[in-house]
Copies of this chain bind each other. A is one copy, B any other.
Amino acid sequence: MSQASLQSFAELSRRWREEIDEALKLHTRFDQSCPDRLREAIRYSLLAPGKRLRPLLALMATEACGSDYRRGMPAACAVEMIHAYSLIHDDLPAMDDDDLRRGRPTCHRQFDEATAILAGDALLALSFEVLAKGFPKAEIVGRGVRELAYAAGPCQLVGGQADDLLHQHAAEGDVELLQAIHRRKTGAMITVSLRLGGIVAEADEETLQGLTTYGQCLGLAFQITDDLLDVQGDQQSMGKRVGKDQDRGKMTYPGLWGIEQSRQKAEQLVEEACEALSPIESRSTSLKSLARYVLERNH
């Protein structure tokens, strides 16, 4: 990625990230019916500094499909809420039992376990309210809600996490199982973020399929680079303990393929992701830059 395009991508992402955070703040002000402690826990986790990968994908897909990116904002907020909820619940003592997330105490460490469970539940429900309120046309609300609910449900996000917990110490070498877990646990929400952006922009089926392929490749590339960073990254820039997957004997791509082959596979997937954008070739610069950025990130 050239220095110039990297800079303009970084600038665009920074600006949009600010707008996303503003919108997330607005959606979590709540009236007095929401207990203060619950509101604080929701905002603590949702507004924590983060990459905002999924909402950026939603906005970029909206623009790539020919609409003003602002139309994609409700979808962007909805997917980030589901992402935040899934992190809160994944971190719980009964699940991954993590103390640190994005460089700060996890929600149940900062508040308490009951509040963390409820904050996650609240964010999941809220995401559908935000999506249903913000979608511009009645005809597409149903499709958006269906796709988001499926991606967040027992066959995708939740199912992936369940299998991840169950197979943490599965026999080394089962790359199909590892991919099936990531496809559901990470891939489905990345893909639906893009598709919701496309649906808001009323993209045709060919374009939605292109976004789906892009999302599937990107999701896997993202997971591989995540595993690579866990092996090689330094704790400070990651904001969480590194090497923890390996310590736990968890299956990872570098563990299965070695570091060099994992890196090559990630590069190849990013190429495939960019090729899949051919139906929206002329407006796909940001999405392509984002895919290449995933390879080069250090946190």
Tell whether, in the assembled complex, residue A158 and residue B95 are in contact, meaning their CB atoms are under 8 Å apart. Answer: no
Tell whether, in the assembled complex, residue A158 and residue B89 are in contact, meaning their CB atoms are under 8 Å apart. Answer: no
Contacts A122-B153, A163-B35 hold; do A132 and B145 have CB atoms under 8 A apart? yes
Size class of the contact patch on chain A: 35 or more
- Cβ contact of A94, chosen from B95, B114, B128, B161, cutoff 8 A: B114
Least distance between A199 CB and chain B CB atoms (Å): 13
Q: Is A159 an interface residue (CB 8 A)?
A: yes
**C-alpha gap A65/B35 in the complex (Å):** 35
Tell whether, in the assembled complex, residue B162 and residue A115 are in contact, meaning their CB atoms are under 8 Å apart. Answer: yes
Tell whether, in the assembled complex, residue B149 and residue A125 are in contact, meaning their CB atoms are under 8 Å apart. Answer: yes
Q: Is A175 an interface residue (CB 8 A)?
A: no
Tell whether, in the assembled complex, residue A155 and residue B31 are in contact, meaning their CB atoms are under 8 Å apart. Answer: yes
Contacts A145-B145, A154-B42 hold; do A121 and B89 have CB atoms under 8 A apart? yes
A positions within 8 Å CB-CB of B: 30-31, 33-35, 37-39, 42, 85, 89, 92, 94-95, 112-115, 117-118, 120-122, 124-129, 131-133, 135, 138-139, 141-142, 145-146, 148-150, 152-159, 161-163, 165-166, 184
> What are 16 A-B contacts with C-beta separation under 8 Å?
A30-B155, A37-B166, A38-B159, A89-B121, A92-B117, A94-B117, A114-B162, A122-B153, A122-B154, A124-B124, A124-B125, A126-B154, A129-B145, A133-B142, A138-B138, A141-B145
